Amino acid sequence: MKKALPIFTLLLLMAATIQAQEKKPDWMRWHYLSEEEMYDTSRGMNFVETDPPTGEPRFVAEFEPMQGVMIRYPLGIPTSLVAQLADNCHVYCIVSSSYQNQAQNDFQSAGVNMDNLTFVNAQSDSYWVRDYGPWYIFEDRQPAIIDNIYNRPRPNDDNMSGVFANFWSIPMYGMNLQHTGGNMMEDGRGHGVSDNLVLQENGNNEANVRQKMRDYLGIDPYHITIDPQGDYIAHVDCWGKYLAPDKILIAQLPSNNSHAADYDSVAAYFARTNCCWGYPYHVYRVQEPGGYTLAPYTNSLILNKTVYVPIGSNGTYNQQALQVYQEAMPGYEIIGVANNTWNGWENTDALHCRTRGVMDFNMLFVDHREVLFGEQAWQDSIPVVSKFIAYSNEPLKTDSLLVYYSIDGGTYQVAHMTATGNPDEYVGYIKGYQGESEINYYVFGADESGHRYTQPVFADLDPHHFIMEAHQPSGNLIVTPDTLWFEHNGDEQTFTIENQTNATVQINAITEEGGYLLLDTPNLPYNLQVGESISVGFLFSFPLKTNRASDDYVSSLIKVQTSIGEKLVTAMISKQGMVNLVYQNEMYFNDPTLVIESSFFNKSVFVPTIRVFSIAEKDTDYLNIETNPTPPFDLEFDGDEAFMFVSLKDFAKGYVQTSIEIETDYGIFEIAVHINEDILSVTELTAETKLYPNPTTGQFTVEGANVAKVEVYNLVGQKVHEAEGKVINIDAAYWHKGIYLVNIIEQNGAVVTKKLVVR
């Protein structure tokens, strides 16, 4: 493709430039050929035509996952760039055995990661590996190579497809077309672009060209455009580039340039032509000054999540070009690459021409073809269908096949995809939107080999986007009953929400304005499908209940907020039920000498005063009860506080529980009293026991000559530890801080109860 020019060739070019309006002779297409090559019309001396692949071919795009990149030594790129590429992926360097030591020394001197570089020994004629390198495809799930007739009389270069077919041990198919890699770009989903050089080099037999591109590469449609440069090379990578299946970069010249209209014409063609996803391409324009100013910006290399952009001679244009790439490819690293070597960049020969990606043979391909875009006809849930092709042949992670979607700019939600029954095909559903909602979404997949991929590759930085058409649901959202009645604390009531519309309704929130009720409902937001109903429960949450009847109620509103509006339910709550006498409602005695002090006060909402008539033990006479003040007395709302002191009066009874009743003008409130039965049979202690240290911050010891067993209780009567022996070490480091009751049971049955303080 490109080599130093003999003098007479330069003269011919200068003459052709002067006669700009004249059609250039055909041999100008072979600029950079040697003088001998220029007159050599032989092509494909060693080419062997084969039948096309029997499986389905897929020509992988440059922006898909790459395991490596091919270069050739002697180099057409700076060694510093080789070092960058080796940090990105594996580098496969074509080199003859006579040059390999020199190449290795150059690379090591440049700091190339040699663990990420493999030499492929082969003879070559030039460093334009983009043009003569193998065209990698998948045939069904297996990698293969398509060989074509290289449009240069360079037999070593033309043999390179076979070299790499042997290197990888993969099939190679011979496609009998004269072609070149610089004049081919593809989107990975069957769309391809070349300019009309491909027709000129194949006898202008357009039907034959299209048929072979379809049979060998799976390319259909095949966009064959004019060559807007009108220059010798006629390679598409000198003026355009696929950045994604729906994005194309086209160079733009100043309006006074004689070729500006041709560039604009090609850009306009793609702006009105549908991409593989069904809508017109997003066309990005990169400004070039034209003339001899160096600006080879479309001749870049996309390698995984990095774009290497060749830098020209004008700083302003360079910066603008990098900004265009960044805008078009959010999330990618955009790197400008200068080349100040003897064979530096040229407008028609730069970084892309001298490199070629090697597809990841084990990639995961997310193929969501029926992309949702524009305005979609109303449906209550919309399916997202995608194929997931694991070329590694490892199983898919079925719990990691997902649709991420955002409704009207909200946070992303996740829909799991399930198999449709068609090969490799899964579906997930976007739900919960309204008419005129705007939805962003992308598809994600992972397989057991560790490969992951999204469509679009930009994920949430540039997702697929569609709008749901305007829609007014028919029918209604039915809530029954519309009123709930609560009489006493602990009352439970439910209502039902039923979707009688013709669309999914999203329940966003359910609230109760008074703060009297506890809610029991499914996790929100909740998508209520057509015909579906759910029950919502409420618990009257005041801590006491009384036995006094009342016809006096307070109302509260329960609000059900949904995607189609707000529904209201009235809660009627008995004021009697809201009497709130706050007190200790259980007492535990594990120590016969214990005195329990308890206080109580009025925290009612609608009861300003509670009259206390009496405080007494119910049905038994085992407790000493002292009160301050002595009943009867009044407790004012949130002001007065009364006290009660309770102790055991008889240790010999066989009971384990009694109760205390507080009689008020709003009913009787009951305190349960629990007594450890063991302490009631104690008549004497037969031996002195020890418990130390007390207080303790960790371990403590119980010791006694007649100790048989130790039981430790907290103040609510729960046993927290039990052990046997005469000397017992207990670790309390992880207990809650506070007071514990330690029952030390001796061999004769006597019990010693001691208080233990844990700090």
Q: Which pLDDT tens digit goes with each residue over 644-670?
A: 878 776 554 455 678 888 887 667 778
Give per-residue pLDDT as tens, 723-752.
998 888 999 888 887 777 788 888 877 777
Do 469 and 378 touch, CB atoms closer than 8 A?
A: yes
49-359 shares its CATH topology with 579-678? no
Structure tokens at 496: 């039902």
Residue 576's pLDDT band (cuts 50, 70, 90): low
Mean predicted confidence (pLDDT) in 698-716: 84
DSSP string of 330-392, one letter each residue:
TTSEEEEE---STT--BTTBSTGGG-EEEE-TT-EEEE--S---EEEPP-SEEEEEEEEEETT
Per-residue confidence band for 547, with pLDDT thresholds at 50, 70 and 90? very low
Is 353 marked active-site?
yes
The most confident of the ranges 232-241, 331-340, 508-517, 734-743 is 331-340
Q: Domain 477-576: what homologous superfamily?
A: Immunoglobulins (2.60.40.10)
- Domain 49-359 class? alpha beta
Percent of the chain whose predicted confidence (pLDDT) is above 70: 87
Mean pLDDT over each residue of the chain, to the nearest integer:
86
Tokens for 519, please give them: 């809610």
* Cα–Cα distance list, 734 to 698, 705, 710 (Å): 8, 28, 18
| Token pair in block for residue 248 | 């194309």
586 has pLDDT over 90 = no
Domain ranges of the chain: 49-359, 379-385+393-468, 477-576, 579-678, 684-758
Superfamily holding 579-678: Immunoglobulins (2.60.40.10)
For residue 630, the 8-state DSSP code is P
574 pLDDT more than 90:
no
* pTM summary value: 0.65
What's the CATH superfamily of 684-758?
A: Macroglobulin (MG2) domain (2.60.40.1930)
194/206 Cα distance (integer angstroms): 12
> Order of strands across the sheet with 222-225?
185-186, 192-195, 222-225
Fold of 379-385+393-468: Immunoglobulin-like (2.60.40)
- Indicate the pLDDT class of residue 485, thresholds 50, 70 and 90: confident
**Confidence class for position 756, pLDDT limits 50, 70, 90:** confident
CB 587 within 8 A of CB 644: no
- The span from the CA of 187 to the CA of 516, in Å, is 61
Query: What is the torsional sign of CA 724, 728, 732, 736?
Result: positive
